[in-house]
Amino acid sequence: MVATPPVLVFMGPAGTGKSTVAGMLAGRLGWDFQEGDDLHPEANVAKMAAGHALNDDDRWPWLDRVAAWIDGQRAAGRPGIITCSALKRSYRDVLRRDDVTFVLLMGDPALVLERLLRRQGHYMPPSLLTSQFETLQMPDADERAIRVDLDLTPSQQVQEVIDRLSLDIAPA
């Protein structure tokens, strides 16, 4: 039996650098990359843009779309990387597969707020960051997850993920 290629889910609150680091890693590995925010239903985007936090009912259709992308990668036999806040265990349970590893980018909330305040062109307002940290349930020992510190540069974070998960870099 052939092993299913891995899928990495970059998780954590807004502003932690999920898209940046995941995109850089996908480029280094030659893997498919999906920005999970692009899978949000329009109603979710409008709600967040208006400064309102999503509730569980808002998130389930989005998580189903993220899970469908993961399943598509697995069915195609292709490794992939997707971003998804996956703040609660129940959300990660929707995404969990034997070959899925969660990569939590985490650090000081003040640093994350500083990053959000500098970010341009994203619908997620900094005012919702507190609710994200309040919602965040750290992965338990029985979840396949690693934590990467925000004190590292994005390049260092990419290298840490490669090293900790023993990933093979794509030939140049």
Question: Mean pLDDT over residues 19-30, rounded?
Answer: 96
Spans of all domains in the chain:
7-165
CATH number, domain 7-165, options 3.40.640.10, 3.90.1640.10, 3.20.20.150, 3.40.50.300: 3.40.50.300
User: pTM for the full model?
Assistant: 0.89
Question: 116: closest CA among 107, 108, 131, 126?
Answer: 126
- Count the Cβ atoms, other than its own, within 10 Å of residue 42: 7
Task: Read off the pLDDT of residues 132-171 as tens digits, 9 standing for 90 and up.
Answer: 888 899 999 999 999 999 999 999 999 999 999 999 876 6
Bridge partners of residue 106, in order along the sequence: 149
Share of residues in the chain with pLDDT > 70 (%): 88
Q: Are 79 and 6 in contact (CB under 8 A)?
A: yes
Residue 1: pLDDT band (50, 70, 90) is very low
Residue 84: pLDDT band (50, 70, 90) is very high
Helix (H) or strand (E) holding 14: none
C-alpha to C-alpha distance for 108 and 104, rounded to whole angstroms: 13
